[in-house]
Amino acid sequence: MAERIHSYRTRAVILRRRNYSDADRILTVFTPGFGKRMLIAKGSRKTTSRKAGHLELFNHVSLLVAQARSWDIITESVTVESFLKLRGDLNSISRAAYVCELVDAFTAEDDEYEAVWELLLLGLRNLDGGPGGVAEADLFLRWFELQLLRLMGFQPELFVCLGCGEGLQPVENFLHLNAGGVFCPQCGRTMQGAEPVNVSTLKILRHIARNQWDALNGLQLTHASAMAVESVLQRYLVTILEHRLKSTDFIHRLRQSPAGSKKIGDAGAHVAFRGSSHSPPDPEDSFKEVD
Ligand SMILES: [Zn+2]
C-alpha cells in the first residue's frame, strides 16, 4: 500500500550546502515559517538536474517539500530572487556568506523567526543592490549584526550602566563583553574583564543600534572608527557564539588585497556624511537623546 506523502510549500534562502552521496546535497535553508531547516535535494549534484540551478547558495527560492523520516525532500524549486549582481563581486559574496553564516549560527532548527527572515532578505537585497563601496557594505554588516543580536535577545547594553543603572555619560566608559554591555567609569574601572571604550566608538555603536538602515545610509566613518566598532562587535559575537565565524576570514583576506577601497580619515573618530540634500542623522546626538 502506498504511503501517503505530505507536502508543504515554503519560501527559503539557501544558507549552506553540503554534498551527500554522489548525487544528492543536504541544504540548510532559512524559511519564514519554520525558521532553519535541513532538506535533501536528491539528484541535485547531477549536471542534468533541473533543480540544481535554483538551489545555489544565497538564492531566495520557493520550494515544494515532501515530508520524510530524516530530512524532508525538495521535490520542486523555483527561484524568486537570485541576487545576480551580488554574485559578480567577491566582496559582496564574502559579505553574503557572512550574513548567512550569522543567521545559521544564531538560529535553531524549526523555530520560527519571521523578523530574522525579513532581516536576512533585506541583507541579501542590500548587498545585491547597491553601487555602494566596501565601507558602506561593512557599515551595513555592523547594522545587521546589531539588528540580529536584538532580535535574538543578545542586544548589548549601550545606554545605561550594567552596574548602577545610570545613563552612560560621554566619557570613557568600560565595555564588558561577557556581561553583555557597558559599565560607567565608577562601576567598570576596577572590574575584571572590563576594557575602556572611547566616547566615539560608543556613540557610533549606539547610533547604529538605534536606527534603521535607511537612516544610516550615507554615514561615513574613518577607517580607525570603523575598525574599532567592528572589533567590539566581532569580539562580542565570538563571546556569545563561542566560535569564530569562518566567513570573517574570507572578508579579511579580501580586505588585504590591493583592490580594497578603504576610506582612511584622520585618526580618532571624525564622522562625516557624504552629499545629502537633507540633514542626516548625527551620531553626536546619540548621547543627548538618552533619558
Ligand atoms: Zn555604573
> What digits encode the pLDDT tens for the residues 63-95?
999 999 889 999 999 999 999 999 988 889 999
Alpha-carbon distance of 50 to 171, in angstroms, equals: 60
- pLDDT, residue 247, reads 83
- pLDDT, residue 48, reads 67
109: cell is 532548527
Cα 252 to middle of ligand 1, angstroms: 36
Level-2 CATH architecture, domain 7-84: Beta Barrel (2.40)
Confidence bin at 270 (pLDDT 50/70/90): very low
Cα 169 to middle of ligand 1, angstroms: 10
Mean pLDDT of the region 104-120: 93
Residue range(s) in the chain whose domain bears CATH number 1.20.1440:
132-286
Alpha-carbon distance of 104 to 12, in angstroms, equals: 13
Question: The CATH number of 132-286 is which of 1.20.1440, 1.10.1760, 1.10.10, 1.25.40?
Answer: 1.20.1440
Continuous segment of H or E residues that includes residue 240: helix 223-241
Confidence bin at 258 (pLDDT 50/70/90): low
Cα 207 to middle of ligand 1, angstroms: 21
Q: What is the pTM of this model?
A: 0.85
Cα 219 to middle of ligand 1, angstroms: 30
Cα 40 to middle of ligand 1, angstroms: 51
Cα 45 to middle of ligand 1, angstroms: 57
- pLDDT, residue 135, reads 86
Quote the mean pLDDT of the chain: 85
Q: How many CB atoms lie within 10 A of CB 121?
A: 17
Residue 266 pLDDT more than 70?
no
Cα 149 to middle of ligand 1, angstroms: 23
DSSP notation for 151-163 = HTT---B-SB-TT
Residue 277 pLDDT more than 50?
no
* Closest among 61, 7, 62, 13 to 36, alpha carbons compared: 13
Cα 181 to middle of ligand 1, angstroms: 11
Q: Of all residues in the chain, what percent carry a pLDDT higher than 90?
A: 66
* Closest among 100, 101, 42, 35 to 72, alpha carbons compared: 42
- pLDDT, residue 282, reads 46
Mean pLDDT of the region 13-25: 92
Cα 270 to middle of ligand 1, angstroms: 27
Residue 167 pLDDT more than 80?
yes
Alpha-carbon distance of 75 to 93, in angstroms, equals: 27
What does the angle CA 123 – CA 132 – CA 96 come to, to the nearest 5 degrees? 30
Give Cβ neighbours of residue 266 (< 8 Å, ≥ 6 apart): 222, 224
What does the angle CA 113 – CA 234 – CA 57 come to, to the nearest 5 degrees? 50
Mean pLDDT of the region 18-30: 92
Residue 181 pLDDT more than 60?
yes
Cα 171 to middle of ligand 1, angstroms: 13
Residue range(s) in the chain whose domain bears CATH number 2.40.50.140:
7-84
Cα 174 to middle of ligand 1, angstroms: 10
Mean pLDDT of the region 176-199: 96
Cα 231 to middle of ligand 1, angstroms: 23
Q: Tell me if 281 sits within 8 A of 204, measured CB to CB.
A: no
Cα 180 to middle of ligand 1, angstroms: 14
Burial class (CB in 10 A: 0-12, 13-18, 19+), 97: buried
Cα 232 to middle of ligand 1, angstroms: 20
Cα 163 to middle of ligand 1, angstroms: 5
Mean pLDDT of the region 176-200: 96
Cα 190 to middle of ligand 1, angstroms: 12
Query: SS3 of 200, please?
Result: helix
Phi first, then psi, for residue 190 (nearest 5°) are -105, 10
Pairing of strands 24-31, 271-273: unpaired
Alpha-carbon distance of 17 to 273, in angstroms, equals: 40
